[in-house]
């Protein structure tokens, strides 16, 4: 499958068909039963509009103590194993030998957004970030390595996968809005975004 390339981002449209999307959502239900979604708070005390959880060896968290990776959910439980389906995607598109350390799970409701940001808490930027979209479509904005530069946007739909490596690894990116009701994958609507990251060598 040949990706659409935009500003160094590799976008694999319809990478997961409907049956694979549904199977992955079922796997995620098991993950979230162990590590429930939480609404995180930034170090400045601002509540984020997305809800988050994770799977794998580490999970990304934020609170008054800062942005960081943690071995445990905020409730003290260890993160559950990653769904096999996302590991298969990683091994197909990234690397067959090295597993990612974290699968961050972001849930977007109708009014959720994600401002332009860089993924730079991993400590090693040689590995790409792999992003999977499930559910309602989202307007994904892509910039460059500096905040305030020119950006370009594309709608990500359920089953789309984005690979952020090379020049795009430290590019600013975000989600401007979610098209509520554009997918029937999640019974109550909303969007799930999974990002797989290598945190440490």
pLDDT at 1 over 90: no
* % of residues, the chain, pLDDT over 70: 100
E strand intervals along 78-172: 102-108, 114-117, 129-135, 137-142, 152-156, 161-164
User: What digits encode the pLDDT tens for the residues 143-156?
Assistant: 999 998 899 999 99
**178, β-bridge pairs:** 138
pLDDT band per the 50, 70, 90 thresholds, residue 12 = very high
User: Which residue range(s) make up the domain with 47?
Assistant: 4-197
CATH number at residue 64: 2.60.120.590
Residue 22's contacts (CB-CB under 8 Å, 6 or more residues apart) are 185
Is there a contact between 163 and 10 (Cβ–Cβ < 8 Å)? Answer: yes
**pTM surpassing 0.85?**
yes
Total of domains in the chain: 1
């Amino acid at each position: 499958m040949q990706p659409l390339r935009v500003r160094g981002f590799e976008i694999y449209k319809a990478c997961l068909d409907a049956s694979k999307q549904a199977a992955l959502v079922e796997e995620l239900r098991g993950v979230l039963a162990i590590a429930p979604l939480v609404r995180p708070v930034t170090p400045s005390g601002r509540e984020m509009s997305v809800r988050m959880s994770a799977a794998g060896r580490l999970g990304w968290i934020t609170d008054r103590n800062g942005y960081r990776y943690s071995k445990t959910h905020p409730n003290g439980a260890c993160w559950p194993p990653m769904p096999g389906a996302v590991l298969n995607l990683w091994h197909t598109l990234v690397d067959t030998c090295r597993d990612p350390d974290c699968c961050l799970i972001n849930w977007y409701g109708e009014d959720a957004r994600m401002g332009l940001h860089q993924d730079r808490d991993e400590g090693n930027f040689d590995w790409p970030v792999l992003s999977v979209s499930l559910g309602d479509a989202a307007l994904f904005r892509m910039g460059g390595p500096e905040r305030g530069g020119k950006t370009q946007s594309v709608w990500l739909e359920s089953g789309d996968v984005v690979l952020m490596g090379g020049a795009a690894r430290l590019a600013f990116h975000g989600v401007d809005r979610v098209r509520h009701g554009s997918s029937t994958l999640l019974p109550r609507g909303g969007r799930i975004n999974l990002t797989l990251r290598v945190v440490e060598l």
